[in-house]
Amino acid sequence: MHKLTKYALLLLIIGGAGVYLYWAKQRPDVGIFLTDLRSQLSVNQGQPSERGNLLGIQPLLYASDYQSRETLHLKLAAYLQKARDKGLLNSKTVAVLPEHIGTWLVASGEKPEFYQSDSLVEAIGWLTASHPLAIPKALMETPSDKEFSDALFRLKAKQMAKDYQQLFGELAKEFSITLVAGSIVLPEPRVESGQLKIDDGPLYNISVVFGADGSIIGPAQRKVHLSSRERRFIAAAPLEQLHAIDTPAGKLGVLIGTDSWYPDSYAALAKLDIKLLAIPAFIKGKNQWEKPWRGNKGAQEPAFIALKEAQSTEANAWQQLAIPNQLKASGAEAGALVFSRGQLWRMSIDGRSIASDSREHALAGDALGAHLINIWL
């Protein structure tokens, strides 16, 4: 009888483990639920011309927007359709999306409970439960000085790179525009034979530009001056890797986020004779735009201006450190600094995008919903 009890208990454990592993592998079809699609044209500088335009798209993002590549595609396509309806898209349009819009593709393809979580901690719990073998293995292979983020990005990097290229390449082709696809974090990324590839090596925050035929234009732009949060698990690229990209509207330079705070970034781009400047950016924190600037702890301070934390708002810091204050130093005629807003689990994201040229600059509105900022060249 004692042996029979042990045998029954063993079968129960094995059966339970089997049921759990089966549950973990399932990804039920939950349909597509689109969050707030409202958008408005906040800024429209200049007059339409044959030279084209620089268009910033400030999306309103939620965790459920990342259920799948298709869900995010539909949301961003709605914003671009609004721009088309307003007469803002043409063969020389260069559109700019915010920093990390591709990074959150790490959340794609998970269980419904993951997107419905009330906090990031709860979401990570569901993520870990859904990958009972892969995540522990990835964590064991991650160096002890790295974070959970390092293991997670490496685990899903191949699919992220594929989704990123397909998503933004399709959007650029669908609307026949040049598209600066915000940024994405990937391990040792490179463009090879027109494909975004990954490899073993450090994680980098990169931005890729897509042409109107959906193909990648030029090399991936790696971030140089990392934020204090990024330095925990992302590698910095050398300044020499800043480059210009030829577009139908002229040479384009891309500075990712805090790269736009440093004079050496603008000096490097000025040598490349750029005409357009795109700055995909990211701010974490509820209503952080109006709160004291948090600086970039542990990094070299921007040399050209003395800004003290708690004595300047986030809004003032970005406008003094980035465009419009530094547009002229880059040699560009027009620039767009583009943020996202919204709520990813309990993490709020904030910012007001800025359009700037040699004559004036303007900020996106503060109303709820997505905002478009446009500059005619």
**Given the structure tokens 């494909």, which residue do they identify?**
195
pLDDT score at 146: 61
Mode of pairing for the β-strands spanning 178-180 and 93-96: parallel
How is residue 313 annotated by DSSP? B
Packing angle between helix 148-175 and helix 134-141, nearest 10 degrees? 110
Which residue segments constitute the domains of the chain, with CATH numbers given? 38-376 (3.60.110.10)
pLDDT score at 116: 79
Give the DSSP letter string of 109-170. T--HHHHT-SSHHHHHHHHHHH-TTHHHHHHHHS-TTS-HHHHHHHHHHHHHHHHHHHHHHH
pLDDT score at 150: 82
SS3 at position 88 = coil
pLDDT score at 110: 80
In which residue ranges of the chain is pLDDT below 50? 1-27, 30
pLDDT score at 142: 62
Given a contact cutoff of 8 angstroms between Cβ atoms, the answer to whether 231 and 299 are in contact is: yes
Q: Which of 343, 350, 352, 344 is nearest to 372 (CA)?
A: 352
The angle formed by the CA atoms of residues 68, 71 and 76, to the nearest 5 degrees, is 125
